[in-house]
Amino acid sequence: MPKRKQLPVALTIAGSDSGGGAGIQADLKTFAALGIHGTSAITCLTAQNPERVLRIEACSPEMLRRQIEAVFQELPPAAVKTGMLFSAENVSVVTGFFKNKKCRLVVDPILVSTSGAKLLEPSAIKILMEKLLPLATLVTPNLAEAEMLSGQKISSVEAMRAAAREIHSRFGCAVLLKGGHLPFVEKLKRDSLKRKTIQRFNDSTIQQAVDIFFDGKIELLLSAPFVKGIRTHGTGCTYSAAITGYLALGHDLPRAVGLGKNFVTQAIAKSYRLGKHFALNHSANP
């Protein structure tokens, strides 16, 4: 019998998206594209499409805990990500499970959908901040989430840098602050950040989707050309899932973040149409 290839395992703990563009569905497509066996623990069901979220029903805390336990019993993941947790009870379940686990944990602190629907109950935010983030290897907030986590207004790359440092100081985890929702047009000088950067820039003015990574020692500025006219659903889920996948493949955190940026950039750039909407192309990674 031929020797079978052994695949690494990654786990996503997130909500189900009936439209297939975000959540569990986006995460599993990303894992599959990276050659990883994807496992899942569903936190809630959503009735949604690329335009809006119509209804959310949370999974019971007991069922969520059982899903996570079942995965770890027979398919221990090399890396885990959390996405939409929705309820305070489910945040507490995840916190309780990982409190004594040594695991590379990526937390995507999903608070509000692109369409404006609240995806994390107010009572859950405090638990996420006080108990879950200190357990994380990496937190991946967008601009609005980073403003909440840092208590700072963010309107520039320098403000992103300051907020990333503040979030790291408060919670002790590495930070990837995503600036894609507010592309910056400014002169990005080669010496504006430490030398350890994923991308290097000249002094020309370019419209870029800029992210900042900071882990207490290394600061990275990650950038890609902003794709005009494309409004996609599930980019944040895909980005954090790609980072989780690269961690499961054995890359260190800074490298996994850089590769994750490239993955989501390709997925956006090579997106395809679904009726009047655009969908990320999870099979487009180089």
- Catalytic-labelled residue, pool 44, 59, 95, 178: 178
How far apart are the C-alpha atoms of 174 and 119, rounded to whole Å? 23
φ, ψ at 106 (rounded to 5°): -105, 125
How many CB atoms sit inside 10 A of residue 272's CB? 11
Which of the residues 81, 137, 237, 261 is marked catalytic? Answer: 237
Distance between CA atoms of residues 75 and 73, nearest Å: 6
- For residue 142, the one-letter residue type is N
Instruction: Give the span between the Cα atoms of 189 and 200, in whole angstroms.
Output: 9
Nearest partner of 50 among 84, 82, 77, 26, judged by Cα:
26
Q: Is 234 a catalytic residue?
A: yes
Collapsed DSSP state (helix, strand, coil) of residue 182: coil
Would you call 46 a catalytic residue per the annotation?
A: no
Is the four-CA dihedral 269, 271, 272, 275 of positive or negative sign? negative
CB neighbours of 6 closer than 8 A, spacing ≥ 6?
none
Catalytic residue among 15, 23, 179, 234: 234
The answer to whether residue 118 is catalytic is: no
> How big is the CA angle at 103 (ends 144 and 164), to the nearest 5 degrees?
25
| From 20, 38, 179, 236, active-site residue | 236
- Check 95, 235, 244, 265 and give the catalytic one: 235
Burial of 286 per CB tally in 10 Å (0-12, 13-18, 19+): exposed
DSSP state letters, 36-47:
-EEEEEEEEEEE
Q: Which H or E run includes 272?
A: strand 272-274
Instruction: Based on the residue annotation, tell me whether 39 is a catalytic residue of this protein.
Output: no
232 counts as catalytic: yes
Active-site residue 95, yes or no?
Answer: no
Catalytic residue (choose from 30, 82, 232, 238): 232
Catalytic residues: 178, 232, 234-237
